[in-house]
Structure 1
Amino acid sequence: MVEQQAEQANTTGQADPTLHTALLQFIFPFSIKAGVDQELAARLQEDGFTRFFLDNKELESLYYGEGYCVSHEKMERSYLPFAAHVLFPREKDHDSFRRFSRVNNLPCRLEMPFQSAGFRILSTDVFLCPFELGFLTLRVAIEEEDLPISTALEFADRFRTLEDVSYKDEHTFIHCSKQRFDRVEDFVFKHLVTVLEPFLDPAETNGAYFETLPFFVDERMLVQAFYGLNLPEGQDGISTELLYRASQVDGLDLEGRPYISASNPDYIKQYTRNHGYSRWAPDTYYMTNEQTFCCVSRARPDIATQLVNQMYGEYYYGLLLNIFHKIVLLKLANLHSRLRINHDNDEIENLIFLINKFSAKFYFLELITQSQGREIFYQLRKVYGNDALFDEVKMTLNDLFQYQDKFQAKRRDTLLMVLTVFTVVSGIYGMNQVIEDLKGNIDWSVMLEYSPFEYLALFLTFSGIAVSLFLTLREAWVTIKSRRKKRHYAKD
């Protein structure tokens, strides 16, 4: 939506529905420095985060606000065993999603250019994942009665922007604990999760911690939201324009009016068909794109509570898994693009290992047991384009295998040729010329009377021995180093 802020906004021209419930989860993917995940886990626990395990049922209603509960049994049953093993690991399983959570229950207020909104930070999650990736999740409830949905969408758009990139961002402030934060990133990294910043990997961004994955995130967090609607009098159902706005996080224009970032009705209808899931229409719709995943519902309160529990539970993990797939696939493609194909032979071998590890342990076509969860998961996978990326990575793997086979064959041929030349020349020629003088106690003074050909034979003899020792030691070192790297990547 940032690009739309430079253009004149299109007002919706419709009555703005109000919300009885506005619950949001802001997700920030980040890259972790190599080898520091154990230290980060210890620091998180020292800072009040609790390791999340499914067998601890006391956590089912702890992090989600009053009246909401996520059934651990239902969440585990929603995923097939090999997926559940990754998402809900045992304590010693590091090749998985390790979740650390903390209750905040922190009342705050967001000041926007045209109005303000009170909200509460319910809880915070930090996930430590394989491939040196992680997720930070802020669980937020907007605490305003009869809140217009445009205000909720504007809140989501302002809060998800870590760095000020527009006029409205520069005039948005957070008040919390008698402090004022001019930027969301300061509120997140210097107030909510202060232990995280030193562990973020700045290698890709020259030290900019809010852009640690520049090939995926552009200074904005992803938004997962539930909007419980009170429809205005005379409005029978949820309009396609409202669904589009919820997906695009279209809130208020520069004059404080509700707006929509598209004007073509046919385009809006086509977009909602392609990015929506309407199994429970006309009461409930799910909208997806690369930046948002939201549920817009006019269901009665008891049904709405069940929908929220799903958004906090199995759908939350389904979203994280799709984001994880997307980022890892992009990371593998990025590693491939940086290879110097004629020089980085060790990196080629490591990349082959990483691709095989990802495809064997983390990427499966079937992950969800229930039909509705499976359909939403597939919708997310389609929006992120993960299948196309995975096909591209598999083609990369095939190309790397072919190159490695050719390289190793060429290397074996060269090694065989060198050894053959030295064996034949130094063995036969050297033995015929100088072998008698090298038996028993060597009389080195005899070598002063050698002819040029005998000196050549002596040189070939010793150089053949030296080359054989060098090649043997080098192959042994390469093998040891390769095994160490494989153990390191397998541990990570």
Structure 2
Amino acid sequence: MPIQQNAEKLNMIRSHMTFLLPFGFDQMKRQETIDSLKSNGYNYFHINEEAINKTAMYGYGIDVTGKELEQYFYPYIEHKLFPGSHEKKGFHRYTAIIQKDHVMQIRDERHDFHIRSIDIILGPFGIAFLSLRINMQDIPADLSDVLDFIQHFRAVEQNLKESKGAMIIIPETGQSFSIRDYIFGYLCPFMEKAVLHEKKLKGHFGSLPYFEDERMFVSSFLIAETGVSISEEQLYRIGNLNGRTPEGAPFISSTNPDYIRRSLSLSLHDRWAPHLYMIATEHGYSVVSNRPADELTNELSQYMGTHYYNLLLHYFYKIMLLRVSFEYSEIDWKKDEYYVRSLIQLISVFSSSYYFKEISTRSEGKELAELFRSTFLIDPLFNEVNKTLQELYKSQENSQAGRLNMLLFVLTIFTVISGIYGMNLVIPDWEAPSGWKEYPSYTVFEWISLITAVTGIGLSAYLIISTFGRMYLRRRRRNKLDMLDQ
């Protein structure tokens, strides 16, 4: 429960924000989605592309180089994050430069912002990300206003009291939109049909029924006035996006200094303190500095490049691990034998092809990756998935053993009956065209012979059909999994 109190004032002279919106998309319509992106001005991102306007995409003086990205990640990660074409497996990024000024109205306050560019990243297993790069224009701004802007902008579905009431206004036309309509009605209307929706769940995040929130994850780079002291309270507010109350007063969600200190011990990376801090929480990842802006070009380039992909990869890990846990809970053990096999394949392919604990060659990359793993609870989730995999294997083994025992039981019965008849189940009446008409006069042994013969023929036909059916389903599942793993 947010608690209003006299928060320390801190002015921000510059802000960079990136809002990440995950969603599920239809892999069967992948090429259609790619064609739609291209026709709407989105270009495929190549790691060594030099022709793009990086100033327009990221901001003045920010240069993300392919060489730095290559050297930051291990080779087995690099070729998944930066595939050479959309035909290869990995994360496929399409980028459009927007360069528009819009206004967010919250209560009676109006905040001008500039949207620079949009990334739409088509990831493996039908998971995609929409990424918005934004700068606040009314600078310098109080920290409370910056955090209030972030908190409202990230609320795709405005369900909580503190996130309600925000509208986006287009100055040129006077149109106003909710956050969701601004994204899918104004910025990216063509993406609406590509988003998958769970029929049982409403709202945007019905696209990912295993996801726990209906707000975007935000990363931000905030530059405070040069040399100003940044307190633990302010760092805590930044990490938890404590902006303003619904009435407009500054707030902080804790009044206990010890609690704030314990919270920061888990979420704060202070390697470059007291001039630069990184905070990662379940709400967002933030970098805040009190150094002059013209001295932070290298840090900003890392924030837009290497840190962006480091965050993206671990956010993907979290979503995939939650997905596996969700799908495991949805299994109907009496009916979903093939679903169980598909889930085993999904876990195996994800673990072998994409999930790696060591992703960066640099010490700061390793430290940041560890911070993300801790924040997103990656290790506990992965341990749970490992247990899930063991349960699935055990279930599959028990199911196969049960089928094998039943088959042996049936075959044993047929063998015993055939042995009694000396392996001859033919009734002389069957040799005549009208022999079948004599069945009312059959003896008990002839009835046993008839039932055994007909059942044996039917069982043989069933075994042949089911064997070929399973081969077809396995091939189809394999093809579907290959399509998901792009």
TM-score band by shorter chain is over 0.9
- Structure 2 counterpart of 1:130, from 124, 137, 156: 124
Greater displacement, 60-69 / 152-161: 60-69
Task: List gaps (5 residues or longer) in structure 1.
Answer: none
Deviations 1:240-263 (A, max 9, x none): 111111111111234534321110
Q: CA deviation at 1:299?
A: 1.9
Match of 1:105 in 2: 99
- Structure 1 counterpart of 2:143, from 140, 149, 164: 149
Match of 1:193 in 2: 188
The 8 Å contact of residues 418 and 425 in structure 2, kept in 1 or not, is answered as: no
Greater displacement, 21-30 / 105-114: 105-114
Deviations 1:187-236 (A, max 9, x none): 1110001111112121155442354324324221111000011058xx5x
Matched residue count? 479
TM-score scaled by length of structure 1: 0.92
Q: Is it true that 1:239 corresponds to 2:231 in the alignment?
A: yes
Deviations 1:394-428 (A, max 9, x none): 01101111121121112112112212322442465
Question: What is the alpha-carbon distance in structure 2 between the residues aligned to residue 206 and residue 145 of structure 1?
Answer: 40
Deviations 1:251-280 (A, max 9, x none): 123453432111001111121121000011
The 8 Å contact of residues 161 and 220 in structure 1, kept in 2 or not, is answered as: yes
Match of 1:444 in 2: 433
Instruction: Please tell me the residue identity of whatever aligns with 1:134.
Output: A
The 8 Å contact of residues 10 and 261 in structure 1, kept in 2 or not, is answered as: no
Cα RMSD after superposing both structures: 2.1
The 8 Å contact of residues 419 and 468 in structure 1, kept in 2 or not, is answered as: no
Q: Is it true that 1:310 corresponds to 2:313 in the alignment?
A: no
Question: What is the alpha-carbon distance in structure 2 between the residues aligned to residue 350 and residue 107 of structure 1?
Answer: 47
- Structure 2 counterpart of 1:262, from 238, 245, 254: 254
Question: What is the alpha-carbon distance in structure 2 between the residues aligned to residue 392 and residue 337 of structure 1?
Answer: 12
Q: Secondary structure at the match of 2:285?
A: strand
Question: What is the alpha-carbon distance in structure 2 between the residues aligned to residue 246 and residue 54 of structure 1?
Answer: 31
Match of 2:456 in 1: 464
Q: CA deviation at 1:168?
A: 5.7
Question: What is the alpha-carbon distance in structure 2 between the residues aligned to residue 238 and residue 472 of structure 1?
Answer: 73
Question: What is the alpha-carbon distance in structure 1 between the residues aligned to residue 128 and residue 366 of structure 2?
Answer: 24
Q: CA deviation at 1:309?
A: 1.1
Q: Is it true that 1:329 corresponds to 2:324 in the alignment?
A: no
Question: What is the alpha-carbon distance in structure 2 between the residues aligned to residue 255 and residue 459 of structure 1?
Answer: 82
Task: List gaps (5 residues or longer) in structure 2.
Answer: none
Q: CA deviation at 1:481?
A: 0.8
Question: What is the alpha-carbon distance in structure 2 between the residues aligned to residue 60 and residue 437 of structure 1?
Answer: 89
Give the direction of change, closer, same or farther, for the CA distance of 1:353–1:112 in structure 2 (3 Å limit): same
Match of 2:347 in 1: 355
Q: Is it true that 1:81 corresponds to 2:75 in the alignment?
A: yes
Match of 1:183 in 2: 178
Q: Is it true that 1:158 corresponds to 2:158 in the alignment?
A: no
- Structure 1 counterpart of 2:283, from 285, 288, 291: 291
Greater displacement, 157-166 / 468-477: 157-166
The 8 Å contact of residues 68 and 305 in structure 1, kept in 2 or not, is answered as: yes
Question: What is the alpha-carbon distance in structure 1 between the residues aligned to residue 122 and residue 389 of structure 2?
Answer: 26
Q: Is it true that 1:44 corresponds to 2:33 in the alignment?
A: no
Instruction: Please tell me the residue identity of whatever aligns with 1:445.
Output: S
Give the direction of change, closer, same or farther, for the CA distance of 1:365–1:137 in structure 2 (3 Å limit): same
TM-score scaled by length of structure 2: 0.93
The 8 Å contact of residues 157 and 203 in structure 2, kept in 1 or not, is answered as: no
Deviations 1:156-176 (A, max 9, x none): 111111223355644322212
Q: CA deviation at 1:57?
A: 2.3
- Structure 1 counterpart of 2:47, from 44, 54, 57: 54
The 8 Å contact of residues 17 and 231 in structure 1, kept in 2 or not, is answered as: no
Question: What is the alpha-carbon distance in structure 2 between the residues aligned to residue 387 and residue 347 of structure 1?
Answer: 25
The 8 Å contact of residues 77 and 359 in structure 2, kept in 1 or not, is answered as: yes
Match of 1:27 in 2: 20
Greater displacement, 211-220 / 85-94: 211-220
Match of 1:226 in 2: 221
Q: CA deviation at 1:436?
A: 6.1
Instruction: Please tell me the residue identity of whatever aligns with 1:132.
Output: G
Q: Is it true that 1:417 corresponds to 2:406 in the alignment?
A: no
Deviations 1:49-106 (A, max 9, x none): 1111113222371511222111111012111111112111121445311111100001
Q: Secondary structure at the match of 1:285?
A: strand
Q: Secondary structure at the match of 2:132?
A: strand
The 8 Å contact of residues 224 and 294 in structure 1, kept in 2 or not, is answered as: yes
Give the direction of change, closer, same or farther, for the CA distance of 1:433–1:64 in structure 2 (3 Å limit): closer
Deviations 1:338-370 (A, max 9, x none): 112232111111111111011101111111111
Instruction: Please tell me the residue identity of whatever aligns with 1:59.
Output: I
Give the direction of change, closer, same or farther, for the CA distance of 1:305–1:163 in structure 2 (3 Å limit): same
Q: CA deviation at 1:456?
A: 2.7
Instruction: Please tell me the residue identity of whatever aligns with 1:352.
Output: I
